[in-house]
Amino acid sequence: MNFAVIVFPGSNCDVDMYKAVEDCLGQPVDYVWYTQTDLSKYDAILIPGGFSYGDYLRTGAMASLAPAMESVKKAAAEGKLVLGVCNGFQILTEAGLLPGALRRNQSLKFHCKYVDLKVESNSTPFTLDYQEGEIIKIPIAHGEGNYYCDPETLNKLQENNQVVFRYEGLNPNGSVDEIAGIINEQGNVLGMMPHPERAVHEWLGSEDGKRMFTSILKYWRERNGAA
């Protein structure tokens, strides 16, 4: 299975994402510069966190217009897996691949800590190795992780079971409905604010994020009949 980690000017979690794939799965993974327009060789595309273009305009807005994002949209339409974490989530909403928007944290402060997440669905390609309703520990590191959508969109997300992760116990940024991660209607594009790639070893404080990567590989193998 081939993985791409898209690198934008200002990305700072690209190495974390690369090492998570390498350590957890031992599968081929490449850094792909934001100017690249051919992603056809990749089975999964990972959009890491950071401050793409310095977040000078609006988080994710400039990156959403980068040449590579047209190929990401094409890959998503073909059913390939796309995972956007933190700034990657912001980019996916700005690109129209996921509904809603990410706003400034309600506290107006940057939060960097471990949080508890509730797995709302284990039937997505990204959560097969979790239990539905399971509480996992994953770190956050963001200043604009306050997920917002209008009531109509929220109802649709709820009705279609597109909310994949919710904050449990403490909502660190004021996100509507405690949302920490959502998936598109087709089920192959996931955006989330917490960083699973930073929780793949116990010495990091948690290895609960590791199962997201093993779920991706399991889904791909089952879909493609690979060993």
Active-site residue list: 86, 195, 197
Sequence-separated (6 or more) residues with CB below 8 Å from residue 162? 156, 182, 183, 184, 185
Question: DSSP string spanning 106-166?
Answer: TTSS-EEEEEEEEE--S-STTSTTSPTT-EEEEEEEESS-EEE--HHHHHHHHHTT-EEEE
Measure the CA–CA gap between 99 and 36, rounded to whole angstroms: 25
Type of residue numbered 176: V
Per the structure block, which two tokens stand in for 29?
A: 């993974």
Per the structure block, which two tokens stand in for 186?
A: 């087709």
